[in-house]
Amino acid sequence: MKYILGPEIIWFLLLGISILIARSNTPPDFPMDGFIDKSWVLVALCGLMTFGLYFFLSYPKFSFSANLGNMHICRSPYTGDTDLCLQPAGTRHRNGLSGWNAFYDHCIDGRQHNGSRNFKILKPGLMKTVFLVIMVLIVVFLYKSCETGYVKKGHNWVWVTNDENFGSRDHWIEGIDMESFKVLRQNKNFAIDKYSAYFRGRKISYATPDGFVPLTDNAYGYAKDNYRVFFDNEVILKADPATFEVLEFPYSRDKNDVYNGTLPMNLDKNDVEAFKVINDDKLMKGSKITTLLSEFLKFNPEYQWIENLDIEVNWVITGSWGTGEANGKKYKGIKQVNRNEGF
């Protein structure tokens, strides 16, 4: 049985699963990214289960000997009996060992039995239980060590990240009100206090707690308050909170326009109503690009009006690989494209 279920066959099964996953490889969305970041703990679990299974199936009957002066507590691997043995000090066993090192054998020289007493030193079943408890504790520790999100440590809140380069890191959240700070259940990437709102541990520009509500339950951080609409940590420019709706990243819409990331696309009213998301590039459709406004304007001068707004804008977020269409017109990113160009 141990040769069938031993470590070798499990590694072959893991190899087969890896090949199947590689053949159907498609880039994960952001929620799946978070799951994958935490899944490395399963590697340790598989290792423990593999060698634990091998340990269980090939577990020998141990013989224990405790040297108590002239008395030894012995257990036979052949009969399983445990007895109190009276022997001269230093008596050796068939394996040439004495004292606690006398495993895999039993007392043979000068053996005198105390028939009224049997001693159960450490049963194999107990060994297995101890192993399982240790394995569970290790898995729990590894899982907790890769926990991410808002975590309260002492009297402070931090945003915890976990990656393969730096491991678990705490990012202190600046300027928050500790007494009123709370994580939002609708999307735990968001939090508010009595002064502001936060996305992934960073303050959202111009956000207030007044009517603040997340609009998504994933890593695409759409939200709004009574005055503005937001994506991640930036304002969606000119968006109307009362009529705003999320379509599919990178596109959203209100009564006035369609938005790519944080930017309005300046569509005609008929095109706004007819706009639908295509996103046929499954590989890149979820890509977010955050660009310094000054650099963005060098390549998109039609957006120079942003500099004249009554709010300060330093960054813009776009999804350049998103695609959509409306009334026979095709769009890629923030721009309309020729029908013959395709997507």
Q: Is residue 146 over pLDDT 90? A: no
Question: Is this structure's pTM higher than 0.85?
Answer: no
Cα separation, 314 vs 297, whole angstroms: 11
Q: Is the Cα dihedral 160, 163, 168, 171 positive or negative?
A: negative
Q: Where along the chain do its domains lie?
A: 2-59+126-145, 65-121, 148-218, 236-343
Task: Mention every residue, 6+ apart, whose C-beta is less than 8 A from residue 333.
Answer: 250, 260, 318, 319, 320, 321, 322
Confidence band (pLDDT; 50, 70, 90) for 36? low
Q: Is the Cα dihedral 181, 184, 187, 192 positive or negative?
A: negative
Contact of 159 with 149, CB cutoff 8 Å: yes
Tokens (6 digits) for 124: 């194999």
Confidence band (pLDDT; 50, 70, 90) for 256? very high
Backbone φ/ψ region at 252: left (φ over 0), alpha (ψ -120 to 50), beta: beta
Tokens (6 digits) for 263: 């930017």
Q: Give the tens place of pLDDT for each residue, 220-235.
A: 999 999 999 999 999 9
- Residues 282-302 have a mean pLDDT of 93
Question: Which residues face 258 on adjacent strands?
Answer: 253
Q: Give the tens place of pLDDT for each residue, 276-285.
A: 999 988 888 8
Q: Is the Cα dihedral 260, 264, 267, 268 positive or negative?
A: positive
Q: What is the model's pLDDT at position 7?
A: 62
- Spacing of C-alpha 78 from chain mean position: 49
